[in-house]
Structure 1
Amino acid sequence: MHRHLVLLLLVSSVLAIGLCAHAGVPLAFGFGVAVPAALPIDWNASFSSITTEVLTDPNLTLLFTLGTYPSHFPNLFEGSADVIVKSWLGPIAVYAGGGLDLRWRPIGGVWGWTPYMNITAGTQIWLIDSVALVASVRSVDALPPTWKFSPDVSLGLRFSLSPARPPVLGKENAFYFWIVVGLLVATLLTYYPHS
């Protein structure tokens, strides 16, 4: 049963990416590994994922992630949908945003779903127009929120099917930079008193 579900999810992801690419939707896809932000690294708590980013605008994108925790595979999966705001500094994009997470696991022969919210921030270094190195921090919190900040640090690669780096942006890009800074400050002010 589990192998069929994993195969179905992988085939669905590949088909969705292929259909979007064929339809001309600008998107990037990739993979990454996240670990809790503590030393020594706890590889048993690592999260491995594949990612699809719909490049709706140079400064606003939709980020979809599907992954698993290898120590719990194939009994725990996680998917997320995020909206992220980007600011560009040449080939480097800094971003912040958040969204909804769903974790599902088998419970008594059926799959149980648990919703979470997440926040994320990071940077993408576009080495060339279609390949990026991605470093990010994310925190997943239960719903309703407990405001407990539990950061995971991740590193990954992103590949774009069309040039992802925008041409030189004007003054409007500075506006998005301050939105990213504002999101980060709001997150710190929200989580700090509860951590």
Structure 2
Amino acid sequence: MVSLSGRSGNELKIYHLRDEIRQSAAEFRLSPEIVGAIVLDELERRSFEDDIEEILAVILPGLVYWADWSIGIAQIKPKTAEIVYRELLGNCPKPNQIVRSLLDEKISCRLVAAYCRHIINLWRDAFPPAENTGLDGDGARLLGTLYSLDPTGTWGVNDRPIFNDRGEGIVASMPQIRQLIET
């Protein structure tokens, strides 16, 4: 069992979501460490503005949908979630339901994994290492880099993607995530 003493609030959130992270990763054939590392990265980047947007999402979900603000622990935009629902999950809720789903931490874990699979599906023919989402894999670097950007990157899908500092940081946090999500 992992020691929780001295862990940050964000790390404790990952620990409490460990079952959802593992299940979601398995469903979309990803390493659970990459899913957890992306969620942790998004949690650590949260701001006061994110909190205000989430309050508005509860009160006015239609506004948040049309403004396309990133919300929830995974900071997913409603229109991105709509693509994930339609293409990978086989159903597409109404806009207000999409926004509400992004506020649900357990559903957000599944949406992170599904969105990562969406990115891999776009890249795997041109860049086969995209499938390697394990510790220190180039697929993990790709997902860490593109999760907060356009899924095809700045220069489109290609066989030589450039990984950014955020992607490298997400990969560097994966061993820490492994400790938090182990049973």
Query: Normalising by structure 1, what TM-score?
Result: 0.25
More strand by share: 1
More helix by share: 2
Task: Give the number of the structure with larger relative contact order, counting CA–CA contacts within 8 Å between residues 6 or more apart.
Answer: 2
